[in-house]
Amino acid sequence: MIESKYKIPEQIKLKTVKNEDQRRFCVVPLKAFLNRKVSGENLRVLAILASYCNRGGYSFVSLKTIAKDLKCSPQNILKHLNKLEAQGIIETKSNYFPMLKGNTRRIIYDESIKDDDLKEHQFTNADISEILKTNKVINQLEDSEQPLKVNQSAIHEDDDLTSLFESITKESDLITAERLLSQGIAPSEVSRLLSQGN
């Protein structure tokens, strides 16, 4: 009797690698810089949004993704996007592409150019299917990683920053607040200085 030994190989572990971020620059409308009501933080959010846009200025990047890039909360990003929309720099459309849930945003580089003029730059169903597949893989990779540890003081500072900008009513105070923040002064201290009239 011939005895055959067969050893079952161990299961192969596939190593998944995230694609390298290919973004190197973004195109932001000049009018955003010339508008005195648009703050430096608004511009930072606009720049990140622009880095995710296609040639027509369309993007459906999530608040969570922008917040991750800027290391802040999605609520803070939404506040800045709302300010940009109020100034006519971006527009938001719900369920603009039927296969995509959530909002689609368009950066308005030229008010005379309408959605119909940009049809060649809109996403096709094939584009959207490919993006959805890629997003599913990325989400699975992110879910398999350990959750990000957020520094409690960073959360507190982000809340202070949000309440600071919500309390500002005068443009001169906004300019002063941005100058003080750029000098590294904590948002709570900036708020105190503004309340004292400094």
First to last CA, the chain: 97
Residue 36 confidence class, pLDDT cut points 50, 70, 90 = very high
In the block, tokens 């011939």 appear at 2
Highest mean pLDDT among 23-32, 53-62, 118-127, 147-156: 23-32
In the block, tokens 């096709």 appear at 124
Q: Looking at residue 35, what is its pLDDT? A: 95
Measured in degrees and rounded to the nearest 5, phi and psi for residue 107 equal -80, 130
CATH numbers and ranges of domains, the chain? 27-140 (1.10.10.10), 148-198 (no CATH)
Is this model's pTM higher than 0.75 or not?
no
Residue type, 42: N
The per-residue pLDDT for range 69-85, each reduced to its tens digit, is 999 999 999 999 999 99
Angle CA 135–138–141, to nearest 5? 150
